[in-house]
Amino acid sequence: MYVAVKGGEKAIDAAHRLLGEERRGNPDIPEITTTQIGEQLTLAVDRVMTEGSLYDRELAAVAIKQARGDLIEAIFLIRASRTTLPRYGYSTPIETSDMLIRRRISAAFKDMPGGQILGPTFDYTHRLLEFEASETPAAPVETGPADLDRTMPRVLDLIGAEGLIEAASSTSGEPGDLTREPLAFPADRDLRLQSLVRGDEGFLLALGYSTQRGYGRSHPFAGEIRYGEVAVSFTPEELGFEIEIGAIDITECEMINQFKGSAGVPPQFTRGYGLSFGQCERKAMSMALVDRALRVRELDEEQTAPAQDEEFVLSHADNVQATGFVEHLKLPHYVDFQAELELLRRLRREAQGLDQEAAE
């Protein structure tokens, strides 16, 4: 006698215990601490904060550990936790020109006020595995004269004076909030940028890359990439004035792109903008390329490539959404599958029936 499948609950509990065991690995090896992750896997932490939409290094480190290093899973943990947080209000806009610079480069100018600051970067390293990777430096790295003024003007502001580049768009009115109102199409740039910041690094990288290869070409120059610390301020209603509540590390990328001009607008350079928490340089650059590509409508350009298709890009950029829906295929679908089986059998029976009639 057949008995219907039972015991789902027990199986799930056992699977989760096994997961815990696998996560810990060999108990003879010391357990990794979240402090170590926060200090030594900083770029993983930065990515989880950026795409998780929550600036909290400690929580991100906890998430990475719990996710066994699966960053999309860690981002997912952060997002779910973020849902439960009450919203007290909005900070005043951060001012990136007042950034305490740790890195600042421009590919458009050889030199500019403030100079090129390389800072901590993989650029120009030879990608040779260092097997003796004890990285404790013998002595602290000399980063320049102590009195170096690390606040410096943004490169695009320097050329903006000549009118060669469009003004940084200041949207009239309050920017929207993607996490409070569902995205509707067509979406304005404020919402597009919010979407892109949360978007998957790999997806944006591939799309940005595609624009360079001719699918929606926009001739970009890395006008400026800067990374460092900016102050975050908040104006409590009951006080009525701004108070500084902390500082965050961010990366900002401003791309300069060609623009042929259109009705009433002479040819000029246009902007693509990228921003991330921490040092997610690849992400900020990709985002800037895609931001520019998505401006086809406002710049009256022809939409020909995937990266310019707002509904396509924004609907598929979020890796928490994407991974959920792809992985949901693991869930039971046997009711629908049964419906398809029944249909297919019937269609085949009918097809055979028809064949027989034809043969008679």
Partner 1 sequence: MTKPLLVAENISKYYDGRVACEKVNFELWPGEVLAIVGESGSGKTTLLKCLSMQIAPNAGRVLYSLRDGRTESLSDLSEAERRFLMRTDWGFVHQDPREGLRMGVSAGANVGERLMAVGERHYGRIRSTALDWLNRVEIAGDRIDESPRNYSGGMRQRLQIARNLVTAPRLVFMDEPTGGLDVSVQARLLDLLRGLVRTLGLSVVIVTHDLAVARLLSTRILVMQQGKVIETGLTDQVLEDPQAPYTQLLVSSVLQV
Partner 2 sequence: MTTGYNFAYLNEQTKRMIRRALLKAVAIPGYQVPFASREMPMPYGWGTGGVQVTASILTPGDTLKVIDQGADDTTNAVSIRKFFVRTAGVATTEETEKASIIQTRHRVPEASLREDQILVYQVPIPEPLRFLEPRETETRKMHALEEYGIMHVKLYEDIARHGHIATAYAYPAKVNGRYVFDPSPIPKFDNPKLDDCAALQLFGAGREKRIYAVPPYTKVTSLDFEDHPFSVQKWEEPCALCGSTTTYLDEIILDDKGKRMFVCSDTDHCRKAQEKAA
Nearer to partner 2, 31 or 311 (CB): 311
Q: Which is nearer to partner 1, 89 or 264 (CB)?
A: 264
For partner 2, the closer of residues 130 and 181 by Cβ is 181
Q: Which of 262, 304, 338, 352 binds partner 1 (CB under 8 A)?
A: 262
Q: CA nearest 286: which of 226, 212, 227, 230?
A: 212
Give me the least distance between CB of 263 and partner 1, in Å please: 4
186 binds, among partner 1, partner 2, none (CB under 5 to 8 A by kind): partner 2
In the list partner 2, partner 1, none, the entry touching 163 (Cβ below 5 to 8 angstroms by class) is none
Amino acid at 351: A
Taking the alpha carbons at both ends of the chain, their separation in whole angstroms is 44
Give min distance, CB of 189 to partner 2, in A.
17
Give the Cα-Cα-Cα angle 56, 57, 60 (nearest 5 degrees).
Answer: 85
CA neighbor of 44 nearest in space, from 85, 78, 20, 19: 78
Residues at the contact surface with partner 2, assessed by CB under 8 A: 2, 4-9, 11-12, 76, 79-80, 82-84, 86-87, 179-186, 311, 315, 320-321, 323-328, 331-336, 338-343, 347, 350
What is the tally of helices (H) and strands (E) in the chain?
13, 4
User: Segment near partner 1 (CB under 8 A), from 64-72, 216-224, 262-270, 283-291?
Assistant: 262-270
Instruction: Pick one of partner 1, partner 2, none as the site partner of residue 100 (Cβ within 5 to 8 A by kind).
Output: none
User: 3-class SS at 261?
Assistant: coil
Strands 270-277 and 220-234, bridge-based pairing? unpaired
Sheet holding 243-257, edge to edge: 100-105, 220-234, 243-257, 270-277
Q: How far is the CB of 256 from partner 2 (least distance, A)?
A: 31
Under the criterion CB under 8 A, does residue 263 sit at the interface with partner 1?
Answer: yes
Count of residues making up the chain:
360
State in angstroms the smallest separation of the CB of 286 from partner 1.
33
Can you tell me the distance from the alpha carbon of 226 to that of 251, in angstroms, rounded to the nearest whole number? 6
Q: Does 304 bind partner 1 (CB under 8 A)?
A: no
Tokens (6 digits) for 9: 């609950």
Query: Interface with partner 1 by CB under 8 A: which residues?
Result: 262-264
